[in-house]
Structure 1
Amino acid sequence: MDPQMTTTPIQTLPDTYALLLEKTSQSGFTMASDPLTCSLLRTLAASKPAGRFLELGTGTGLSTAWILDGMDQQSTLVSIDNDPAFLALAKETFAADPRLCLQLADGGDWITANATEKFDYIFADTWHGKYLLLDEVLELLNDGGLYLIDDMLPQPNWPEGHAAKARQLMDYLDTRTDLLLTRLNWASGIIIAVKKSSGAD
């Protein structure tokens, strides 16, 4: 087995990442996506030129940094979080990036209020859009749009009973005939789904 394929080195880090990682550590935020997941987020972001991006669960902006690093200058990203302290770190870091719109909001309220919006790429990194209001968020995807979730392998911070919820989520996604999806037993456990064209069989 080629060690270059098993150690999965990361090419480069976003310019803002190291400083933001330090601030995140000081803030006490412990729910950040791991760097391997973030590297994949960046790679897939580059596949959507002039795309409309949505991130549900900004946290302090660590995964946001990677998504922005993969986006071109014609793309836009809306990122939602309900914690003002953590969101403030992201606002401070990305204040100069006009592609990003950070919004302080409850995920459920935002999804309901923006039900007619459409996106080419959705990273659901919080309960809303993953375990809550999943169907509503999938309706926000354009044909050919990417839906991404992580932490589908057992995590140390999972509460009792969460493993069953994760299995139910995976089983449900498998039943969706409008999605083509792949499960990756890699990083924290990732599912990548693509919305099929409405004209596809």
Structure 2
Amino acid sequence: MSAISQVPAAFPEIDRQTRESGFTMPSEILTCSLLRTLAASKPAGRFLELGTGTGLSTAWLLDGMDAASTLVSVDNAAEFLDIAIRNLGTDSRADFVCRDGGEWLEENQHSRFDFIFADTWHGKYLLLDEALALLNPGGMYFIDDMLPQANWPEGHDLKVANLRAVLAARSDLDVTELDWASGLIIAVKK
């Protein structure tokens, strides 16, 4: 496998601040690189990120998005979201929202997106139907951390297995699982 040669301009500083902050759940760089590639496939797209964290994956999404695209990035942890805002907040395509993901999903059912990266409980293990309802036809739903992780609490493997089964059984999605990086699922709404 080749090394990733180009990272977004803000990535090194966000990575440094992330390590200093004690944030322990960043998306890995292979996942981030794929996010950039997938974002490039949605010109003038509307993007949603549930679980900004410190903005590591956000930087890659923005790097792949064109000038006509927009991103709403939601997280409830202000201390981590502030890192993203400090480093990416001048990008006019990005709207950072400090809010509980579940509340945001319930209050924004009128919204539609071309790409959703669900990197937190809401929109992945909780309120999955509500998140998927926000996808336009042809829209992508992307999740990571489907392979066993050192920080999984006891019993989390059962939640992952259930989520995989629920997504695979949906007739409104074409789903591909990748045992690559941290374990990925990419689904497209029919």
Give the TM-score range, shorter chain: over 0.9
**Structure 1 unmatched runs, 5+:** 1-6, 197-201
Paired with 2:45 and 2:137, the residues of 1 have a C-alpha distance of 12
Superposed displacement of residue 8, structure 1: 4.0
Residue 43 (structure 2) aligned to one of 44, 49, 57: 49
Change in Cα spacing, 1:153 to 1:160, as seen in structure 2 (3 Å) is same
Task: Choose 1 or 2 for highest CA Rg.
Answer: 1
1:3 matched residue in structure 2: none
Residue 86 (structure 2) pairs with residue 92 (structure 1)? yes
2:8 matched residue in structure 1: 14
Residue 28 (structure 2) pairs with residue 34 (structure 1)? yes
Paired with 1:100 and 1:110, the residues of 2 have a C-alpha distance of 16
Describe the SS at the equivalent of 1:122: strand
RMSD: 0.6
1:159 matched residue in structure 2: 153
2:184 matched residue in structure 1: 190
Paired with 2:101 and 2:135, the residues of 1 have a C-alpha distance of 16
Paired with 1:95 and 1:117, the residues of 2 have a C-alpha distance of 22
User: Residue deviations 1:25-72, cap 9 Å, x none?
Assistant: 000001000000000000000000000000000000000000000000
Structure 2 counterparts to residues 26-175 of structure 1, below 5 A: 26-175=20-169
Paired with 2:168 and 2:2, the residues of 1 have a C-alpha distance of 28
Paired with 2:95 and 2:104, the residues of 1 have a C-alpha distance of 13
Describe the SS at the equivalent of 1:43: helix
Which ranges of 4 or more aligned residues in structure 1 deviate by more than 3 Å?
A: none
Change in Cα spacing, 1:8 to 1:171, as seen in structure 2 (3 Å) is farther
TM-score by length of 1: 0.93
Superposed displacement of residue 87, structure 1: 0.7
2:18 matched residue in structure 1: 24
Paired with 1:9 and 1:181, the residues of 2 have a C-alpha distance of 27
Superposed displacement of residue 95, structure 1: 2.2
TM-score by length of 2: 0.99
**Structure 2 unmatched runs, 5+:** none
How many residue pairs match? The answer is: 190
Superposed displacement of residue 9, structure 1: 2.3
